[in-house]
Amino acid sequence: MLIVAPSQAADPGAAVRARLTGFAGFLRANGYGVGGGDAARVLETAEHVGILDPQILRWSLKALLCGRGDEWRRFDALFDAYFLPPNKRAFAEHRTTTAGVAEAAGGLRDGNEGPPAAAAVEGTVGDDDGIAARHGASREESLASTDFRDLDHADDARDIEALMRRFARRLRHLRLRREARFHHGRRLDLQGTIRQSVGSGGTPFRLAWKDRRRVRPRLVLLLDVSRSMSQYSFFYLRLARALCGELADVHCFIFHTRITGVSEALRDPEPWRSQERLHLLAAGWAGGTRIGECLRDFNRDHGPRLVHSRTGVIIVSDGYDTGEPALLADALATLNRRARRLVWLNPLLRRPGFTPESRGMQAALPHLDLLAPGADLASIAHILPQIIDTLR
C-alpha cells in the first residue's frame, strides 16, 4: 500500500502515511466510489501540498476524492470526522447505531410492513433466464397474471426477478427495432456520402442522409412506498431495478412523506452497498402519504432537469393522499405540461367494487393522460410498450 520511495519516507512518517491511505478506505466505507489506486494518489497529493495545514489538505483531497455532488456536500463532515480526533469516536458510534436501526428495520419485513426498498435488492445477482426457463412457460404465465399481493415473496422472488428481466429486455428490443427504422433522412449528407464512397473507389453507391436529431425517450418512475402500498412497492422496486438495468434512460424516485431519488442505489452493481443505500433512503418510513407535496418537490428539484418533451412519467400509487388535493392537482398540472405522457398506475383499480373516489384520485384525474391498473405484470406488460410508443 505504501508506495513512497525510501528517500521520501523520512518526511511524512509511516504512521502519517497509513493514516492518509486509511482515509480513502474510510470514504469507500461511506459509499464513495473510491478505487484501489486512490490511496496512492492521496499520498502523491499530500506530497505536493504538505500535511500541516488542514485547510489546504482538505481542499486538495476534496477535489481528488469526490466524484459527484452528494459526495462533495458530505465530504467536509467526513474529513473532520476522520482527521480531527475527538469527533472520530462520536462519528463511529453514530454509524453503528444507524446500522443497528437498519438491521432492525430489515427484520420487520417478514411482517409485510418493513421497508420494501431493502427487500427489493436481496438476491438480485442471479439473473439468468435459465431459472425461469426451468419452470416452463405456463408457470411464467400464471405468475404474470397473479396479483402482486398474492405472491409469496420468498418462494417466487427468483422467478419474478427473471421474469422482470426478460420483460425489460423485450422493451429494449422494441426500442432498438424502432431506432433502426430511421435510416433514411431528409437531407443528403455530402461529407458522409464521400466518406462512404472511399470503399468503392470514389463512386458514391450508397448515399448518406442527415436527419434531425431527436431527443431520446426517457422514463421517470415515481413509486409510492407508503404503508398502504407496501404489498406492491416490493415488486415495483424490483421492476424499477430491472428497467434501470436494461434501459439507458430510466429514473426512479420513491415517495411517502417526502420524495427521494433511488436510481443511483438501484443501479449500484454491489448488492450490499445498494441495500445499504436504500436503507438510508428509507428513513422516516412510517406515516401517511403526501403525494401533492412530494410531486411539487419533484417538480421543483428534478423536473427541469429530468422531464423533457419526450419523457413519460409513470406514477404508481393507490391515491390515498393525506395532503391537500388542490396541491396534488397543481403539481400534476405542472408535470403534465412538461412531460409528453403522464400515466398513473393504480394497483387497486382492478379490484371488484373499487372506484377511484378518494379525494386524491378525484383531484388527479383531470390532469392524467391515462389511469391504468397495475396490480400484475400482465397489465404492466400491456401498458408499458404503449407508453414507450407514444414517446417516439
**Residues found near another protein in the complex (CB under 8 A):** 33, 35, 38, 41, 44-45, 47-53, 55-60, 62-64, 66-69, 71-73, 191, 194-195, 198, 202, 213, 215, 248, 263-264, 300, 303-305
φ, ψ of residue 365 to 5 degrees: the values are: -50, -45
In the chain, what are the helix, strand and coil shares in percent, each to the nearest 5?
A: 60, 10, 30
Measured from the CB atom, is 306 or 380 closer to another protein?
Answer: 306
Measured from the CB atom, is 248 or 326 closer to another protein?
Answer: 248
Least distance in angstroms from the C-beta of 26 to another protein = 17
Least distance in angstroms from the C-beta of 258 to another protein = 16
Q: Which residues contact 139 (CB under 8 A, 6 or more apart)?
A: 159
Helix, coil or strand: residue 261: strand
Measured from the CB atom, is 73 or 351 closer to another protein?
Answer: 73
Q: What angle do CA 305, 307, 310 make, to 5 degrees?
A: 130
Measured from the CB atom, is 104 or 248 closer to another protein?
Answer: 248
Least distance in angstroms from the C-beta of 334 to another protein = 8
Task: Give which of 27, 61, 28 is closest to 44, Cα–Cα.
Answer: 61
The amino acid that residue 327 corresponds to is L
Least distance in angstroms from the C-beta of 338 to another protein = 10
Contact 58, 79 (CB under 8 A): yes
Rounded CA separation 353/268 (Å): 41
Cell of 232: 406492491
Measured from the CB atom, is 63 or 77 closer to another protein?
Answer: 63
Measured from the CB atom, is 144 or 208 closer to another protein?
Answer: 208
Rounded CA separation 137/286 (Å): 39
Residue written as grid cell 424490483:
238
Least distance in angstroms from the C-beta of 136 to another protein = 37
Least distance in angstroms from the C-beta of 125 to another protein = 19
